[in-house]
Amino acid sequence: MIDGLLVVDKPAGWTSHDVVAKLRGATRQRRIGHAGTLDPDATGVLLVGLGRVTRLMRFLQETTKSYRGVVAFGVATSTLDAAGEELARREMPEIDEAAVRAATLPFLGDIEQVPPMVSAIKIGGQRLHELARQGKEIDRPPRPVRIDRFDIEDFTPGPFPVATVLVDCSSGTYIRTLAADLGEALGGFAHLASLRRLRVGAFTLDDATPLDVLVEEPAPYVLTPADALRGMRTLTVDDAIAAAIANGKVFDGATVAAEGVGPFAMLDAAGTLLAVYEWKGSRLKPSVVIPATDPPAGGADQPAHGEETARE
């Protein structure tokens, strides 16, 4: 069994599930999952965990993300992106780059978004995209997200202007919703014409490898479990503490010199990941312990946690 992380540069035309299935075959690994879904048309950074690293995926999924998107003004679609049916069209020659920049400002900081009907989240036990395929639309409660950056990288004026945007945001942000809301803020329509994910947490496109390269020979690109958590605060412990961690021991912060909010990646002297600990009140408790050996996965796929997506 391989324990590690692959940082994939996902090509267009592949679902995130397709990528996992392809890499399952390439790695001969059944225990595999991804963090943070990308739509088939979207490209960029997709994190795929192998073996015991599948147990760590929620920590990677909950990190901030960065995107480059192309917003097409003047056209509304059923999916808020280029894959949907056109619902409305109206020329917007009056908007210019300055107007678009000004319109982005109210979206910065903590905001609420209504998830699109094509998202993968569940309401009432059903995934929204499944209801959408049945032609149904239901009320969706808004969800809190945070936008740390919403910049205009490029702008093309005209009857149907186009803006290239750069977005830094929290987990759970819907970039397609941001595009549609920007069009509404400017008094018209907009949809997301294309999307590329530039970063997931500490991993950027510089760390990513094209899928076709990984399929040919994945082994050289597998990151260790410790490196998979490179963006997390680390604590290096001695052999006695390492043995206690293996048994799931709870600690006070002083015992392991833990300061700050956590979570903490616990490493032994050799730099091997032992566990991830989080605060529960005033005590540090293990959220995931990585044993020296792990029982067989029983053939079951270990998917990434949650439904957070870039465009779904």
What pLDDT does residue 115 have?
A: 75
Residue 233: both structure tokens together: 């605060």
pLDDT digits (tens, 9 = 90+) for 248-280: 999 998 999 899 999 999 999 999 999 999 999
> Is the CA virtual torsion 105, 109, 114, 116 positive or negative?
positive
Please indicate whether residue 238 is annotated as part of the active site: no
- Residues 6 or more apart whose CB falls under 8 angstroms from that of 198 comprise 44, 45, 66, 67, 68, 166, 204, 205
Catalytic member of 3, 9, 18, 39: 39
pLDDT band of residue 141 (cuts 50, 70, 90) is: confident
Q: How far is Cα 209 from Cα 110, in angstroms, rounded to an integer? A: 33
What pLDDT does residue 36 have?
A: 84
pLDDT band of residue 118 (cuts 50, 70, 90) is: low
Q: What is the mean pLDDT of residues 90-110?
A: 97
Q: How far is Cα 301 from Cα 51, in angstroms, rounded to an integer? A: 10
What pLDDT does residue 311 have?
A: 38
What pLDDT does residue 301 have?
A: 39
pLDDT digits (tens, 9 = 90+) for 161-217: 999 999 999 998 999 999 999 999 999 999 999 999 999 999 999 999 999 999 999
pTM recorded for the entire structure: 0.89
Q: Which of 194, 236, 197 is nearest to 63 (CA)?
A: 197
Q: What is the DSSP letter of 224?
A: P
Of 126 and 105, more confident: 105
CA-CA distances (angstroms) from residue 46 to 7, 39, 60, 140?
Answer: 6, 11, 11, 27
CB 132, CB 118: distance < 8 Å: yes
Domains detected in the chain = 65-200 (3.30.2350.10), 233-289 (2.30.130.10)
CB 166, CB 151: distance < 8 Å: yes
Q: How far is Cα 141 from Cα 237, in angstroms, rounded to an integer? A: 44
What pLDDT does residue 291 have?
A: 80
What pLDDT does residue 304 have?
A: 43
In the numeric block, the tokens 């020979």 are attached to 217
Report whether pLDDT(13) > 80. yes
Report whether pLDDT(230) > 90. yes
Report whether pLDDT(308) > 90. no
pLDDT band of residue 114 (cuts 50, 70, 90) is: confident
